[in-house]
Structure formats: structure tokens, C-alpha cells
Chains A and B, each alone.
Chain A
Amino acid sequence: MINDSKIFLGAAITFLALSLFFATPAIYSKIGVESQARNLLQKYPNNMEKMKEAYLLLRQPQLFAGYENFDSRGIAVKNTLQYMDSKLFTDMEIKTNDSRYIGLLLERRAKGSNLGAKTAVFFLLMGILSFFALLREKRLAG
């Protein structure tokens, strides 16, 4: 009987490593960036400096929600970037209404981190399945 233990072990390690690779930026984004930006937007809707801080937090895109490609739905995000970059660069006043534009960036980022988290869960499940297959293979061989 052919023993596939090594293949299952390799697959389990690869899937778990991929899961970790996708989970790390998603968790960092959810805990480190999104919650902070959401707090700033909700607690200080009239504070220009805090709004600027929230925008700068969201200006660097999430790994799975880059600012390179936009479909017709995402074009609002592109317009937001143009509008807010110009405002901050020329030191124009950020108004309360601008928080909804920053909210669009937060929404896009959340979508990206959700995608990353779901992908991580998928690879984690695949890793666990491979691990169980490895145990079964060892039991049959042993």
C-alpha cells in the first residue's frame, strides 16, 4: 500500500502557512486600523485633526482592497481620494460632511479585511482536513 503521509503533511503545513499569511493582515487591519478609524470618526465628527488622522490611517490600502483598480461601484472611493488628498494638501478645512467620504474608505478596507479573513478560514479548514487525512493515513499504515 502506498503511504501518502508526506504529501498530507506537506499539504497541511502549506495550508496552515497560507492561512497565517492571509490572517495576519486581516487581523491587523480589523484590530489596529479599522477600529481606531471608526472610533475617531464616531467620537470626533467635528474635530478636523482627528478626521485627518482617520483619513491618514485609511490612506494606505488594505492588502485585498488596493486603490489601483476601480469598478463602477468603487469609483466613489477614487473620487474620495482625489478630493481628500487635495483638501489636506492645500490645508483646506475638513467639514463634518467629509466624514461620510472617509467612511467610504473604511467600508472598502473592511471589505478587504473580510475577504482576507474568509480566505484564511478556508485555508485553515483545508489544513485541518489535510491533518486529519494524515492521521488516518498513519493509522492505516501503522
Chain B
Amino acid sequence: MKIVGEILVLSLILSAVSCIHPPKDVKSPSISIFQAGDNLAIGFTGEILNKNPNVALVDFTADIAIFNKAEQLLANFSFTLPPILPFQRGVVRKSIEIDKKNNEKKELFFKLMEQEGTQNTAKGNAKTVFLSKKQVFLRNVKFKTMTIEKLLKS
């Protein structure tokens, strides 16, 4: 009987844990490339979707690594987000500046613009590159969960 009880408790815990869907990828990733003199300003935008119906993700921190199609690392950065409510998206915006000394990195971005094709954005002469999911990786994802009722009551 004791073993049956333990199995029941374990299965309840497992089902409770498995109910939480952690974000696995970045939705709609894109980068805007803006050349300011010899420097290059890169603006990354992407979204983290909370698929959980009743749980908010709080204290969300993670790293994003961006690669080109030749699997060369273009950028790697950490970010934090405010609470992501159920079914909603947390928007990641990050600015990265590449100075004139870092020619190798600049070349990689110029190549990316050539390979992927760019679209002009409304902001001056910035060019936008829409990335595929295979080029953007979400790593070291850490977050706490809070039921939405608790969050809204607090």
C-alpha cells in the first residue's frame, strides 16, 4: 500500500511539473543593422511566448545566441524580461554596438545582409534582416512561476 501511495504522490508531482511549458525558442526574431560612421549598431528584436494558460513567468532571464547560416556566432547576449502573462509575449529588444576595430564581426554582419536580403525600415538607413528559428538560440533560461490569480491579486 505504501508503494502505491508513493507512486500516486510521485505521479501527481510529475503531472504538476509537466504542466508548465517553458519557452524553447524566440518568436519572430529580426535584427536591424545601422551603420553610423565606422561603427555598426545592431538592434535585435524577438518575442518570448508564454504558452501556459494559468501561470505567469516572472524574473525571466536567458541568453540569446545569433548565428549565420555557416554557423558562425554573430552575437551573444543576456536579457531579462518583466512578468510574461499567460498566452502573452515578452518582447526582447537589445542593442549591440560593434566598433570600427572589430572588422571581422562587421564583415559577418555585412555578409548576413547580403545572404538574407534586407528590408528598409522607417528609421533612417537601417536595414532589417528577418532571421529563421535555426539561427537564434535561447539558452540558460531561468524563470520563476506564479499563478496568474496570485500575480493579479498582488
Contact = CB atoms under 8 A, between A and B. Distances in A.
Interface of A: 56, 59-61, 66-68, 78, 81-82, 85-86, 88-89
A85 B53 contact: no
A78 B85 contact: no
Nearest to B53: A67
Interface of B: 53-54, 83, 85-88, 148-149, 151-153
B53 A56 contact: no
B8 to A, nearest CB: 14
Q: Is the interface of B mostly helix, strand, loop or mixed?
A: loop
A60 B54 contact: yes
A85 B86 contact: yes
A56 B87 contact: no
Nearest to A59: B149
A81 B53 contact: yes
Contacts of A67: 53-54, 86
A128 to B, nearest CB: 29
Given A56-B149, A56-B153, A86 B88 contact: yes
